[in-house]
Chain A
Amino acid sequence: MADVNGMPKLKRKREGAEPLRKKVKTQRKSKTEDAEGETSTPLKAPVSTPSSSNADMKPAPPSSLKKEPTPTPQRSQANSASAADSSTPKARKDKKRDRNQKKDEPKASEAKEPFVERETPTTVVVNGDNADKSTKKEKKQKKRKGKQNDQWSLSEPQGGWFLQQDPVFSPDEKHLLLAKLKTLEVYATETSLLAKELPVGGSGVILSYATSSAQSNQAYIADSAGMITLWDWTNGSKIGRWDIGANVRHLDVVKQPGSDQDLLYTHETGNSHVINVHALRTGAQASKTELRRILKTSKPISGLQVLLGGKIVVASSANCVMVGKRAKLHKTAVQDFEYVWREFETSGRITTFSAYIHIPGAEKSKKPLQDPRDNLDLAIGDSEGVIHLFEDIFTSFAAIEKSQKEKAGKAIGLESLRPKRLHWHREAVGSLKWSRDGNYLISGGDETVLTIWQLSTGKQQHLPHLTAAIENVVVSPSGASYAISLANNSVIVLSTSELLAKTNIIGLQSRRVDQEQQPRESNSSTYSFELFGPVPMTVDSKNSHVIFATPSSQPHRHHGGLLPEPYAQTYDIATHRAVARQALTRNNATDTNVDPEGQRVREPNVQFIQTSHDGMWLATVDEWLPPSSAMGHIEEGDLKANEEERLFRRESYLKIWRWDEKGAQWVLDARIDAPHFHKGVAAHARVVDLVADPSCTGFATVGDDRIVRVWRPKTRTRDGIVVRGGDRMQGLVTWSLDRSIGIPSKLDIDESDQTLQDLSTLQSCHLAFSADGSALAAGVSWASGTDPGVIHIIDADEGIIRRSITEIDITELSGLGIFGRYLIAVSNTIVVWDMVIDQFVHSMPIDTPGVDTAHRAQLVRLAVNEEDGTFAVSAPRFEKEEKAGSRRFLKTSTRVSVFDPNHPKALWNRSVPGIVLALASAKGGRGYITLDASSSIRTISPKATTQQLPTPPPETMPLLLTDSVDVDEIDDAKQKPYLQLDASEELLRDSENDKPVVRPEQLQAIFESGSSNALPAVRDLFDAIVGLYARKPRASGVVGAV
């Protein structure tokens, strides 16, 4: 930007401007946090100068702008009344009047404000509305305080998406400022690590932010509560806070001409779009806080750029570019800012633009503001991938205006400006920036290619295959690096010379549901809720990692349907960092991602992810269906037949990945094509559920071919010899079908004519393993209204259905779990069934307002945690906002409840904002993990009480089991040593180091007292066995207990 230091000091003290201050008060929060910091010092100033303000100013109507953030009609009148150039120097709200008026209002808490000496920053409120909010907030806090006494706690969200705004470099380029909804994060560019986190308290979320141009260590943050706060991001302290009562979408900070203080150019939204100039001041100068409106338009502004210290302002809307040039340059006071706006329309939809000032000659720093001719070059990228380049646009404007003088001020056509066309991008240009010297254009598009245009020669340099659409490109202050933010929630800093990544900041990339995609009040009945379908997620039991499926790219502009999720991301909850991302299916990272018809090529979608009990294996199921557009060759007009043909072309794979310790990644070990198969039509069947065996390595799947299949590894032998290979000394392993169990429908559908319609009657099916892997429950609900569905309890060893429970109504089954002796089924209600006494225990209702029962099954989640003996259910809530605002989106939240199967009441209930897309129990630990639609992870964990520490750790399940073994099982145990001769058995035996080692001789000694009639009393036998198995755990296991 232009250097404004050299310009003459024209600063004028304008006492009279004071009444125009919009700010009620500014807050200083000193580092010492003492009482002095809390006193609102500037309060007296506005009160003391009420009369002088009116002297200067055109009298403003006594309407309170504070009460409505949108511009008042009076102001628009003022706009129209002013010069034809549409700049409005006068229309200001009289702050003082406002204050006076408020004083008159007895209800508003603010009324008493001038007399209150001390106030905490959080309670600074301006109008009645806000007052309401604050009291509500307090109530909420009280509520939370009350909740904090219970045994479970909900963590703060981790992850979340970076704001779709240009990343901001610190002036020394050592740091990169990125914002999420609630925090401003400072990353070190050298290490890619998070250096500082500034939490933005309050109810609002961050909308935009910018660093101060006067103080490099300060940053302005605008939030949705209508506040702009000034932070010192180096030490995390809050410096100032202003309520401007509007949502700031774009923020640009320049130095005020004639002073070294900041001017904020803000684009504020409301009923109309407004560009304001704010001079926000703190401390002793707080009285000089000023505001000046420079543009008001009904077109939604999509971009804003301020050049030359505010001399030129460029804004863009969907198909229109507005260029404002400040008139009367010698007047540097904010209130004297006047802009001459010129606008022209473009044919395509503008996605991005960038302007550059060419300063002719060498006198760069010498009074650039005096130079009457600034060569403004403008580059506009549109949704077709074309970049329009306007060179020296002011000259063109002048020429056109001269030629059609009478029409000046009207929209100027694009063609009359004769732009250069640069067309390489296949899809929309995501972001566009000039290089610092103006010789290059750097553009990034949706086709994941970064292109650098050398304008003098027309040559291009490409950096292809960035794996996700490019959303923002920023050239660093020195021009030595580019920061690129991608649509997969990551930011890369590239060096300009060799285009190598220096910094790589990766956020959580799971499915994001934007507000625009959420159900509205108007369409809540027709909304499909498919976006809120489950995200495959699993917890790695080796470490604290969570693995979940992610789409390759989620552009903020994309508001279409569900994206396929071909990748898996690994996120470490302990360190709050994304660890790895890897492709689970074929993907379009390096291939053309659109087909000749312009349709996006869809990758296969990963539907299920599970890790084995020891974390050494990962099983995924992915599915691909050809798009209906590709079925033209069998198009016969019959929609149903077409869809059926399409389903026949489904490709579904079960993939088993092995954990590679050396490479720290999952390596594909086996791919099973068509794990479920419709024999009659030779088509891949849909896999409906996948679970991992919690006791030994193995996975179970169920498909809509109505067969439960159990997959287990076998040590590969060739001619009787164990095959060793690669780095695996233990021998290679073949995954194969261990068992397949047909699940009969209660309906007795005639098996002979298996058509697809027939098979689709399987509406939902869920599987659950018992903790010892001996029982497998398969809950099937059929699409028939009369049939309540059935739960089969399958003996996993024998592959026989032992019991079919039809007593439970599971019409809309959304989850199934086994915990100990209890079977938990979540359908219309949560049902707990005791499998030992074969009885219904109790049921609890689920409440999901805003979702009808047809959609509920895919939205409710169940997770069972063996460790702490609980299960959790999350139920979404789509509620109407109490006050009917302009946004007609339903308010979303999720009720997460933790239950103990022994009690019919929930142990703990909490409403989580947003919709929980995945819920999993923390393996090997206590508590649960949720992943929600804003891609943030929360952990729900029981609170450790102090009394728990001295007692030994809770007994684990295996121990409990061996305690209660009966004689038959002991016989089994006796035979075990022989079985272990088998090499495969040896390999796959899990290493249970904590268990006491019982040698077969010891067991034999107990039982070898003679024939069966000479055995000692059962009680004595039992005691002897318990003595063997249930001896004290080893010392290492109970370090914490001693």
Chain B
Amino acid sequence: MAAEVQPLQPVKLPKGPSTITSEQKYWNSFASELRLDPSQHSSPITHISIPYQPASNLLVAAQELFAVTTGSRVQIFSSKTRKVVKNISRFGVDDIAHSGAIRRDGRIVVAGGDSGTIQAFDLNSRAILKTWKEHKQPVWVTQWHPSELTSLMSCSDDQTVRLWDLPSDKSTIKFDGHQDYVRCGSFMPAQSGLIVSGSYDQTVRLWDTRASGKAVMVFKHAAPVEAVLPMPSGTAVLATSDNTISVLDIVAAKPMHMLRNHQKTVTALSLANNGERLLSGGLDGHVKVFETTGWNVVAGMKYPSPILSLSVIPSQNEDKHIAVGMQTGLLSVRTRLSGEQKALAREREKEMKALMEGKIDEYDRSRKRKRGKGWAKKLRGKDFTGEGADVVIDGNARGKIHNSFPWAYALRVGQYAKALDMVLEQNDANAREHSITLLTALRHRSTLPSALANRDEVTLQPILRWLIKHVSDYRITRLTTDIALVVLDMYADQLGRSEEIDMLFERLVMMVRDVVDTSQTAVSVAGVVDCLTSCAMSGPAVEA
């Protein structure tokens, strides 16, 4: 039976090695970046934290807040507006705040300081609720217990980890054992009653809150431990020491993976995508995204200065912001806009642009003309003129012919020159693909000469311009050379009649020379590299 007309298959050229994966696309979609200096003195941002969010707690409304600790202040940001809500700066004169943390009900903020004090503030009034001065050295970690509202922990440079109860004046439990500064620590999730801490003595220790005393488990590393992060399952802990991230299995009591993707010390870890991705930030200014099953790097971002703190801030069960604090005091909040918001933002941008250019009337008119899809339906039948007139409905017995591009139709009906003109007129994103597809099709049908023949000064130009543009594409060299040869074959004797054509030919010649030079260089480089590699391969054998 009659074969259906299929659209012309586009020619797909081989792709280079770097393609954007869907994962990269996702992380690139955190595009709307806000950069600010919250301390105003360019003090490094040492800590970003979000209130602990239980996975399935529907009773307590999620606190759309996050705390950024920089210099001598803790700033509370709203994760809805990315604006500062509260500014807590009631620290000593030369005190530096550390580890501001919001309790999960959003009422109390706790923070440590360089002086060794731990302070609890009421978030609304910013009043100091409690001050503990038990630590003799700077306190680097304060963290609220995930389930108990009054319980919190702290880690200090005095080599201790302590557990506190909000009403009491003294620490409830003190864990001794670290030999050096304790710079990181965290409660383990899932009612395990464990605390994990990492220290500059190159160990990660697990403490049992039900029994004070020695550490339950110790993992020795090769370098000071900068950050620890328990996995939500409670069976694994991530710890960073120098430029490696180790995945520690606390059930089997052995490290599972060592991730060595950073160049410099990894300083911050954060989980994203409900614990399926891990983000790590380092002094090399890179944020790397790992997937947490095979621990492969799936995406990465680069920041202008060393990263000290990092947090992925979720909102309504999906990641909303990536907040990164840097050495230079810069806070970067990258936000992923949802589809609707994106459209709105675009619209707003357009409107602003129109306003700036003074074309707002035009813009308004164009807005109005856009009507919904149902508009045509509403009007259907309104033009009915009565019984007298016959309405002829033309049926298409052969089914729908795929409505492809006009140039493809021209090609199908044998108007080769017209198709070529059409495709060379195009200047949208598909222009290159279309032109290559068409020219390949013309070559397959031996119709290149007839498509290129009988052109005048004006109509020959687009072809020459196309050649100049594409002659350097090594993937279609056979095609471009063939076209150039056909053009030369046809129009060589016409040279010198038109200035513009002559100029284009000259440019083409220059382009070809360039390409030839480049490829010669490439070949000679390849030769040298071949030589080197073969030397390297045979080298050990010679030594042996």
Contacts and interface: CB of A to CB of B under 8 A. Distances in A.
Interface of A: 463-467, 492, 498-501, 504, 586, 589-592, 595-597, 599, 601, 624, 626-627, 629-630, 632-634, 648-649, 673, 682, 718-721
Interface stretch (B113-121, B127-135, B290-298, B311-319): B290-298
7 contacts: A590-B6, A596-B449, A599-B446, A601-B445, A624-B444, A719-B21, A719-B297
Given A466-B1, A599-B446, 10 more contacts: A465-B4, A465-B5, A466-B2, A467-B3, A500-B397, A590-B4, A590-B5, A591-B445, A592-B445, A632-B449
Nearest to A466: B2
A466 B3 contact: yes
Contacts of B478: 648-649, 682
Most chain B CB neighbours (cut-off 10 Å) among A596, A599, A624? A596
B296 A720 contact: yes
A719 B482 contact: no
A601 B444 contact: yes
A634 B485 CA distance: 7
Nearest to B413: A592
Contacts of B413: 592
A634 B488 CA distance: 10
Contacts of B388: none
A222 B2 CA distance: 34
A586 B293 contact: no
B412 A630 contact: no
**Top 4 closest pairs, chain A to chain B, by CB:** A720-B294, A630-B446, A720-B296, A719-B298
Nearest to B440: A651
Contacts of A648: 478
Point out which of B9, B21, B298, B478 has the most chain A C-beta atoms below 10 A from its C-beta: B478
A1029 B14 CA distance: 48
A718 B294 CA distance: 11
B105 interface: no
Find the residue from A466, A590, A595, A626 having the highest chain B CB count within 10 A.
Answer: A595
Nearest to B13: A673
B220 interface: no
B14 A673 contact: yes
Given A501-B1, A648-B478, A719-B298, A590 B412 contact: yes
B445 A718 contact: no
Interface residues on B, range: 35 or more
Q: Is the interface of A mostly helix, strand, loop or mixed?
A: loop
A590 B3 contact: yes
Contacts of A599: 446
B489 interface: yes
Contacts of B297: 719
A633 B446 contact: no
B452 to A, nearest CB: 10
A601 B446 contact: yes
B294 to A, nearest CB: 3
B280 to A, nearest CB: 15
B1 A626 contact: no
A498 B414 CA distance: 28
B434 to A, nearest CB: 17
A181 to B, nearest CB: 27
Contact of B489 (A591, A632, A682): A632
Contacts of B296: 719-720
B446 A629 contact: yes
B137 interface: no
Nearest to A648: B478
Contact of B3 (A465, A592, A649, A718): A465
B443 interface: yes
B447 interface: yes
Contact of A718 (B9, B23, B449): B23
B486 interface: yes
A684 to B, nearest CB: 9
Given A595-B445, A595-B446, A633 B486 contact: yes
Nearest to A589: B3
Nearest to B23: A719
A721 B277 CA distance: 13
Contact of B448 (A630, A634, A718): A630
B192 interface: no
Contacts of A500: 1, 397
B401 to A, nearest CB: 9
B450 interface: yes
A53 B259 CA distance: 113
A649 B482 CA distance: 10
A298 to B, nearest CB: 41
Given A465-B5, A467-B3, A721 B447 contact: no
Contacts of A719: 21, 23, 291, 294, 296-298
Contacts of B443: 626, 630
B273 interface: no
Contacts of B291: 719-721
B437 to A, nearest CB: 12
A1004 B486 CA distance: 72
B508 to A, nearest CB: 16
A524 to B, nearest CB: 34
Nearest to A673: B14
A467 B7 CA distance: 16
B459 interface: no
A96 B9 CA distance: 72
A501 B489 CA distance: 49
A131 to B, nearest CB: 51
Contacts of A467: 3
A646 to B, nearest CB: 11
Nearest to A603: B444
A589 B8 CA distance: 12
Interface in B402-426: 412-414, 416
Nearest to B9: A586
B32 interface: no
Contacts of B445: 591-592, 595, 601
B477 interface: yes
In this complex, the member of A499, A595, A719 whose beta carbon has the largest number of chain B beta carbons within 10 angstroms is: A719
A595 B482 CA distance: 17
A598 to B, nearest CB: 11
A590 B23 CA distance: 41
Given A464-B2, A504-B1, A630-B446, A718 B21 contact: yes
Contacts of B416: 596
A721 B294 contact: yes
B414 A627 contact: no
B122 to A, nearest CB: 45
A435 to B, nearest CB: 18
B438 to A, nearest CB: 13
Nearest to B481: A634
Contacts of A499: 397
A491 to B, nearest CB: 12
A633 B414 contact: no
Contacts of A682: 477-478
B71 to A, nearest CB: 38
A12 B450 CA distance: 70
Nearest to B484: A633
A589 B485 CA distance: 30
Contacts of B1: 466, 492, 500-501, 504
Interface string B433-462: 000000000011111111000000000000
B3 A626 contact: no
Interface in B259-296: 291, 293-296
Contacts of A720: 291, 293-296
Contacts of A463: 2
A590 B3 CA distance: 7
Given A466-B3, A633-B485, A682-B477, A626 B21 contact: no
Interface centre among B23, B412, B444, B485 (most CB of A within 10 A): B444
Given A595-B446, A624-B444, A633 B482 contact: yes
Contacts of B448: 630
Interface in B288-310: 291, 293-298
Contacts of A634: 485
